[in-house]
Amino acid sequence: MNTRSFKKAFFADNRKRRIGRRCGEVTVSGEQVESHPRVFPALHIEYIITGDVNEKAVQRAIDLSENIYCPAQAMLRAGASITSSYRIIRP
């Protein structure tokens, strides 16, 4: 299996929940099988949030994203094991 990793920066503006504007990065890594179709049987998503944020608010936002609002994750979860973690970088 080959290990692959993808990064994407994001900017969140969540004033409704009084979290404010935050920057961060999402890294998705996984093992890709050698034979075709070259699928990813397991993926790990790491959320890296920059700023002075409430940890419970971060956990809640990730939970909503993974379990309610992201149809791509729901579709991928049917064929792959998906785990996640987060890291907060405070100024």
Q: Which residue, among 47, 12, 10, has the nearest Cα to 27 in the 3D structure?
A: 47
Q: What is the DSSP string of 26-54?
A: EEEEEEE-SSSS---SEEEEEEEEESS--
CATH number of 2-89: 3.30.300.20
Please count the other Cβ atoms lying within 10 Å of the Cβ belonging to residue 11: 8
The per-residue pLDDT for 18 is 53
Residue 15 has pLDDT above 60, yes or no: no
pLDDT tens-digit readout, 22-44: 678 889 999 899 999 999 999 99
Pairwise pLDDT comparison (49 vs 3), residue with the higher score:
49
Give domain limits for the chain: 2-89
20: region left, alpha or beta (phi > 0 left; psi from -120 to 50 alpha): left
pLDDT of residue 64: 85
pLDDT at 26: 87
pLDDT tens profile 61-84: 888 888 888 888 888 888 999 999
45 has a pLDDT exceeding 90:
yes
Q: What is the pLDDT of residue 61?
A: 83
* 3-state secondary structure (DSSP) of residue 84: strand
